[in-house]
Homo-oligomer: A and B are copies of this chain.
Amino acid sequence: MASHITSQEKDFSQWYLDTLKIADVFDYAPVKGCMIIKPYGFKMWELFQQEMNTRMEEMDVENACFPALIPESFIMKEADHVEGFAPELLTVTRVGKKELEEPYVLRPTSETIIYNSYAQWIHSYRDLPLKMNQWANVFRWEMKTKPFLRTSEFFWQEGHTVHATEEEADTMVKDALDMYENFAEEVMAIRGIKGRKTMNETFAGADYTTTIEAMAKDGKAIQFCTSHQLGQSFAKAFDIEFTDKDEKQKTPFITSWGMSTRALGTMFVVHGDDKGLRMPPKIAPIQVMIIPVIPKEEHREAVMTQVEAIKKTLKSDGIRVRIDMSDKRPGFKFAQAEVKGIPIRMEVGPRDLEKNQVVCARRDISTKDSYDIKDLKESIPELLEDIHATLLSESEQHLQQNITDVFDIEGFERVLNEHKGFIRVAWCDDAEKEKEIQQKTGATIRCYPFDMQDQVTGTCFYTGRDATHIALFAKAY
C-alpha cells in the first residue's frame, strides 16, 4: 500500500496525487479540471461545514442560497470584477436546442447576484448589518489544476455582509479572518500567517484583501482563506442605499469572505508524510480504526465481542470509530489506516485481552502503547487531543523554521533555490516591481503580515528605496 506512494522528497506533487488517490479521498472526473470527492474525502467536507456553521452562527451569520446562474450583464456591472474573472467564466448559451437570449455565467463567486437582491432588501439602518453566507459550488475554468488545491468546480462558503459604516465593515473583515484563524488552529491544526494582500493580489473589485497563508511541507505557500473589504464599489454598482438615523440616504460598506475545499488541500500538504495523510482528529472521518487480530479461529468470538463492545462505548461518546472487517491481512490494514491518516489505530488480539488491554498506535508520531480497556473512555479523547496539539505544534515549527530574512536580490534568489519556505523582506510596495520579481523568480508576495508592519526599517531589498512594508515572498500553489 504505502509502497506505491512517491516520497515527498523525490516529487512532492506526485506524493500528493498518489496519497489522495490511494487514501480514496478523490478520483479524477471525466470533466476537465474537475474532481470526484469520494466518501472518505466528502466526510471531511461535511465535518468542515459543521464546524464552520457553528462559528458563523456565533457571529449571527445566517445561511441562504442564491442561484448558480448569473445573468452575464450582472458580472459586467463592476468593472474590476468582470476584468478579474472574464477569461475563466463558463457560459450557458443554450437550452435544449435553443439559444438563450441572454447567456448566463456559472458563478465564479456570487457578489453580483447577491448584491442585486441586497439592493431590494435594504432600506434603512434597521436592516443593517445584514450578514448572510452561502455554501455553494463555484466555477472557474482553470488551466492548471490539482485536486482540492485548484479545480474548475470547487466548493466553498461565501459570507456577504453589509454595514452602515466603513469601520464596522473593517471590523467584520477582521472578525471573519480571526474566525478562520481559529478554525485553522482548532479544527485543522494549522498555523498560518495573517496579513494583507498587495494591490496586485487583491480580489477583483475589493478595496483590500486579507488572507491567511499556510506553508506546505515542501515550503510553498498556500492561501488558506480570504476576507475582503469591498468598500462601496459594489454597493454603487448595484444601487444599494439605506436611510440612516439622520434621515439621509447613504451608501453602505460591504465585505465578503470565503474558505473552500482548497483548505482541505492545505491540510493534506501541511500534515502529510511519506506514509500518507495525517488527519487532525477534529476533521478525521474515522478517528479510531479498530483492527481485530485473530491468529486462530478459536480466538474470533472473544476478540469480536470485545471489539464490538469497545466500538459501542467509544461511539456513544461521539468518537468516530470503525472496525476494519475486510478479509485482508493485518499488515495491509495497518498500511491502509496509515495512508488514510487515521489518528489512532487500535489493535485488539487475544494476548491483549488476557491483560484487559488494547494497543493504540498514533499516526502522528508513530508510537505504540497499551491502554487498559476500562480506561478507554478517558484515554482515547486524551490521545486525540494530544494528537491535535502535536500536529499544530509541528505546523508552527515548520512555519517558523522556514522563514528567512533576506536583504538583497542575490540573497533572495539564493534562498529561493537552496532553501524552501517564505522569504521576509523590507519592501517598497511597488506593484510594477512586484510583477518584475514574479516574472524573474516565480515568487509572489503572499502577504504583508499584520503583526510586523510596525517593524519596518531600512531600505527595500530590491529597489533600495525607503521600505514601507514587511513582505513575505514565496512560491505558491
> Could you say which of B39, B45, B46, B67 contacts A34, with CB atoms under 8 Å apart?
B67
Q: Given A27-B117, A137-B137 in contact, is the A153-B93 Cβ separation under 8 Å?
A: no
A42 adjacent to chain B (CB < 8 Å)? yes
- How far, in whole Å, are A116 and B28 apart by their CA atoms in the complex? 11
Q: Mark A68-105, 1 if CB is under 8 A from B, else 0.
A: 11110010000000000011111111111000000110
Q: Given A91-B94, A93-B94, A94-B93 in contact, is the A38-B64 Cβ separation under 8 Å?
A: yes
> Could you say which of B37, B66, B153 contacts A29, with CB atoms under 8 Å apart?
B66
A325 adjacent to chain B (CB < 8 Å)? no
> Could you say which of B31, B39, B46 contacts A71, with CB atoms under 8 Å apart?
B31
Contact B89 A95 (CB under 8 A): yes
Q: Given A39-B63, A65-B37 in contact, is the A96-B92 Cβ separation under 8 Å?
A: no
> Could you say which of B39, B87, B95, B155 contacts A90, with CB atoms under 8 Å apart?
B95
Contact A63 B91 (CB under 8 A): no
Q: Mark A403-447, 1 if CB is under 8 A from B, else 0.
A: 000000000000000000000000000000000000000000000
Contact B93 A93 (CB under 8 A): yes
Among A38, A65, A89, A103, max chain B CB count under 10 A is at A65
Q: Given A42-B65, A95-B90, A96-B141 in contact, is the A71-B30 Cβ separation under 8 Å?
A: yes
Q: Given A69-B31, A90-B94, A94-B91 in contact, is the A36-B64 Cβ separation under 8 Å?
A: yes
- Which residues of chain B have C-beta atoms less than 8 A from A9's C-beta? none
- How far, in whole Å, are A74 and B31 apart by their CA atoms in the complex? 11
Taking the closest CB of chain B, its distance from the CB of A69, in whole angstroms, is 5
Contact B96 A87 (CB under 8 A): yes
A2 adjacent to chain B (CB < 8 Å)? no
A1 adjacent to chain B (CB < 8 Å)? no
Copies in the complex: 2
Q: Mark A18-54, 1 if CB is under 8 A from B, else 0.
A: 0000000001011100111111001101100000000
Interface size on A, residues (CB 8 A): 50
Contact A155 B63 (CB under 8 A): no
- Which residues of chain B have C-beta atoms less than 8 A from A237's C-beta? none
- Which residues of chain B have C-beta atoms less than 8 A from A389's C-beta? none
A62 adjacent to chain B (CB < 8 Å)? yes
Q: Given A87-B96, A89-B95 in contact, is the A153-B62 Cβ separation under 8 Å?
A: no
Contact B68 A153 (CB under 8 A): yes
> Could you say which of B64, B104, B120 contacts A42, with CB atoms under 8 Å apart?
B64
- Which residues of chain B have C-beta atoms less than 8 A from A34's C-beta? 67, 69
Taking the closest CB of chain B, its distance from the CB of A43, in whole angstroms, is 7
A132 adjacent to chain B (CB < 8 Å)? yes
A106 adjacent to chain B (CB < 8 Å)? yes
Taking the closest CB of chain B, its distance from the CB of A273, in whole angstroms, is 26
> Could you say which of B27, B86, B93, B132 contacts A96, with CB atoms under 8 Å apart?
B86
Q: Given A74-B30, A113-B30 in contact, is the A91-B89 Cβ separation under 8 Å?
A: no
Contact B39 A153 (CB under 8 A): no
Binding site for B on A (CB under 8 A): 27, 29-31, 34-39, 42-43, 45-46, 62-71, 74, 86-96, 103-104, 106, 113, 116-117, 120-121, 132, 137, 139, 141, 153, 155
Q: List 27 A-B contacts (CB under 8 A).
A: A29-B66, A29-B67, A29-B113, A30-B74, A31-B71, A31-B113, A34-B67, A34-B69, A36-B64, A36-B66, A36-B117, A37-B65, A42-B62, A43-B62, A65-B155, A68-B68, A69-B90, A69-B153, A86-B96, A89-B95, A89-B96, A90-B92, A90-B94, A91-B95, A92-B106, A93-B94, A106-B106
